Amino acid sequence: IKPTSSILTPRKSVDLEGQDVDVVTKGRHDPCVGIRGVPVAEAMMAITLLDALMRHHAQCGLGDPA
């Protein structure tokens, strides 16, 4: 899974005192989104297995898959 890129465009924000500030990212600070890969892979596997089960029931005529 490719990391998301840093946004180098200045953004308006508010500091802890409530003052308006401009936030600028300097350098590359790409967050690792790899930990989100586990639920994505689990969902893909669940969809694939359900598809295979539904195809099996449709081809073999075993009635209601539930």
Q: Please say whether the beta carbons of 15 and 21 come within 8 A.
A: yes
d(CA 14, CA 26): 18
- Tens-digit pLDDT profile for residues 5-59: 777 788 899 999 999 999 888 877 667 777 788 899 999 999 999 999 999 999 9
d(CA 26, CA 15): 18
- pTM more than 0.75: no
Cβ neighbours of residue 57 closer than 8 Å, sequence gap 6 or more: 63, 65
